Amino acid sequence: MKKTVERTIKKAFFALAKNEGWTLQMAGGQVGVTVPKDESHGDFSCNLAMILAANTKTKPRVIAEKLSRQLAGNGLFSSVSVAGPGFINMTVHPDHWAAALDQIFTAGEDFGRISVGHGEKVMVEFVSANPTGPLHIGHGRGAVVGDTLARILSWAGYDVHSEYYINDVGLQMDNLGQSTLARCRELLGQPAGELPYKGDYIIDIARQFLEANGERIMEAPLEESLAKARKFSADKILDGIRSDLEEFRVGFDEWFSEATLHDSGEVEKTINQLQRKGHIREEDGALWLKTGSAGDEKDRVVRRANGVTTYLAADLAYHKSKIDRKYSMLVNVWGADHHGYVPRMKAAVSALGHDPEKLIVRLVQLVSLKRGGQTVAMSTREGVFTTLREILDEVGVDATRYFFLMRSSDSQLEFDVELAKRHSSDNPVYYIQYAHARCCNIFVTAKETGVKRIPFDQVDKSLLTGGDELRLIRKLLMLPDVVDACARSCQPHPVTGYLTEVAAFFHYFYKHNRVVTDDEPLTHARLALVEATMMVIRNGLEILGIDAPRKM
RNA sequence: GCGCCCGUAGCUCAGCUGGAUAGAGCAUCGGACUUCUAAUCCGGGGGUCGCAGGUUCGAAUCCUGCCGGGCGCACCA
């Protein structure tokens, strides 16, 4: 509908432009149609006249009057008026609103999908946590933000591929193997030795390690036992991560192992390529990527003097792989503590010959838990961390996803465990799900009452004239705009707020109107509205990866 | 010291590519269940949008400087 209004205004604008000497450039290149906060200002509002006035030195209200008269002649609106300093307020005729419900029925489970992405290939990389321990709630937030972002971009018409980059190489892996061996010795009653990772989960892994390899593995040369312990532990932990994410409905198209980049020689190849192109210099025997001249604080080492490559080197090869695989838009979801890494990565992508603007890093801020009126900040260092598994078991998937998604990822999140667990309307998740269940139930009632369903085009939509009905319809038709805004900003949270509004408008409508009555035409019209609501909520929840129950 | 994020109702946060009287949820107070699920609805109170300047027809929104909180500033990943 918004698009229709925009087109209509453009038409009116050009009809006058010849005589008035206006150009679209004078208007800022576009007609900015917005939905006013205040319903009394109409369905849509436009500040075109004010922008135009500034560039033509005319009074805004004069321009607004002219445009307004032109627009009023269009059958789309029931009223057009000039208000305030020069806003043009438009109210769309109720019949057009009701008829627009057809868009929802026609698109069905695809209503909300748009094509702004034009099939562009986009890679969304997220979680990518080291396989050195179970995922905690911070990872959980990143996981659900990344997963939902992938869903949103797909709904927006992008060709989306999601990936988990497994850092299965390096010092952390050695530490992990060492920790497992230490726990093994402990289990065998020997002095444990160094224990870099102190979490209890290593004890289980150690036990399984001994079972799988026999106690004699501990007498093997350290090099051998460590290599085995490293691999064994990482695999076990990765299995755990996989099943946690699966339960959390977070899926990946691919799990990409860093080790494969080293084994295939891609890391070396990437360094060589960058060296040839002059992006690398040598100092103190080490190789430095010249990121300092491309926005980073300073240049960064990719290969140490001892010949060992750094983490950045592997990440370069990884991003080269993304580019080689023809992904043009690269979305990375990172914990906010990695923000210092952003300029470096942008510079790196640029050195690889890709537009750094096409690397979008979405930083996700910390999560703290609130329970019993007390907030506990997450701290891996102090070992005060709640695992994703714990919160899933306690709160459930739907509420956990919703709570992780309801705030801008730029803001730190306080997760109110007690509120999330509450099965009542206080809890926004159930508030939305309940609205969906109510819709479904109305159809059960209709069927029991013997109401026959008729095709939408035979329904008399003009009967939907109530303020609360039109308000709901207007809201329902906004889903595509919400998807658009989310895709543009790479932020999923507006969807949660939108669905809360849809649910609120529906609950209000439900309370004040009876759907199934003796008035058959009106019953059919309202059933159509209920069905449209059901579809919008279901599609919205689908985007968020949250169930839409038929019954509660 | 430098950089990034945040500072909006008692609490948690939307709104920030500038728009008309600043919103939601929780909490709080008061109402509504012979009627399609009360997991619902209706209503009230609650604000110098951190502070101070600037940009303009118009600033919570943009710019500058402060103040406060978080997080970073490795040849770790």
| This prediction's pTM | 0.94
| Strand B at less than 7 A from CB of A47 | yes
Q: Which residue type occupies A217? A: I
Contacting residues for A54 by C-beta, under 8 A, at least 6 apart: none
CB atoms within 10 A of CB A286: 15
Q: Which residue is nearest to nucleotide B40 (CA to C1')?
A: A507
Cβ of residue A155 near strand B, that is under 7 Å? no
A66 close to A16: Cβ distance less than 8 angstroms: yes
Final residue before a domain boundary, out of A209, A227, A247: A247
Q: CA A303, CA A432: separation in Å to the nearest integer?
A: 53
Asked, for residue A29, whether it belongs to a domain, the answer is yes
A107 in a domain, yes or no?
Answer: no
> Of A218, A247, A276, which one is at a domain's C-terminal end?
A247
CA of A28 to C1' of B63 (A): 21
In angstroms, how far is CA A539 from the centroid of its own chain? 15
Give the CATH number of the domain where residue A474 resides. 1.10.730.10
Based on the domain organization, do A353 and A278 belong to the same domain? yes
Which nt sits closest to A416, CA to C1'? B12
- Inside any domain, residue A101: no
Same domain, A154 and A297: yes
A305 nearest nt, CA–C1': B75
Domain membership of residue A445 (yes or no) is yes
- ipTM of the complex as predicted: 0.94
Residue with tokens 């949270």: A493
CA–CA separation, A178 and A117 (whole Å): 47
Note whether A155 and A175 are same-domain residues: no
Cα A10 from chain centre? 33
Closest CA to A256 of A320, A342, A352: A320
Q: What is the mean pLDDT of chain A?
A: 91
Same domain for A459 and A517?
Answer: yes
* CATH number for A18: 3.30.1360.70
As ranges, strand B nucleotides with an atom below 7 A of a protein CB are 3-7, 12-17, 19-27, 35-37, 39-42, 56-57, 70-77
Q: Look at strands A254-257 and A367-371 and give their pairing.
A: unpaired
Q: How far is C-alpha A72 from the chain's CA centre?
A: 40
Residue A60 has a pLDDT of: 84
The answer to whether strand B lies under 7 Å from the CB of residue A148 is no
Question: How many angstroms separate the CA atoms of A532 and A474, rounded?
Answer: 12
Kindly report which amino acid residue has its CA closest to the C1' atom of nucleotide B4. Answer: A339
A413 part of a folded domain: no
Residue nearest to nucleotide B35 (CA to C1'): A514
For residue A440, give the nucleotide whose C1' atom is nearest its CA: B36
Which residue's CA shows the smallest distance to C1' of B73? Answer: A340
Residue with CA nearest C1' of nucleotide B69: A412
Residue A204 sits in the same domain as residue A338? no
Question: Between helices A428-449 and A494-512, what is the axis angle to 10°?
Answer: 40
Please check whether residue A447 lies inside any domain of the structure: yes
User: What's the structural domain count of chain A?
Assistant: 4
pLDDT at A111: 97
The verdict on residue A381 lying in a domain is no
**Extended beta strands in A246-299, E state:** 254-257, 280-283, 286-289
Q: How far is CA A398 from the centre of its chain?
A: 15
Statement to judge: residues A160 and A276 lie in one domain: yes
Within 7 Å: CB of A79 and strand B? no
Same domain, A216 and A269: no
Per-residue model confidence (pLDDT) at position A378: 65
Strands A374-377 and A87-92, by their bridges, are: unpaired
Q: Specify the nucleotide whose C1' lies closest to residue A496 (CA).
A: B14
Contact between residue A428 and residue A406 where contact means Cβ atoms under 8 Å apart: yes
**CB of A429 closer than 8 Å to CB of A402:** yes
Query: Which structural domain, as residue segments, surrounds residue A22?
Result: 2-92
Supply the CATH number for residue A321's domain. 3.40.50.620
A240 and A256 inside one domain: no
Smallest CA–C1' separation from A516, nucleotide:
B36
A552 falls within a domain? no
Quote the pLDDT of residue A380.
Answer: 53
**Same domain? A209 vs A270:** no
* A235 and A297 both lie in a single domain: no
Of A319, A344, A364, the residue at which a domain comes to its end is A364
Same domain? For A64 and A154 the reply is: no
Q: CB neighbours of A425 closer than 8 A, spacing ≥ 6?
A: A431, A434
Please indicate, yes or no, whether residues A213 and A129 belong to a single structural domain of this protein: no
Task: Kindly give the parts of chain A with pLDDT less than 70.
Answer: 29, 377-384
Contact A435, A502 (CB under 8 A): yes
User: Distance (Å, rounded) from C-alpha A293 to C-alpha A284?
Assistant: 19
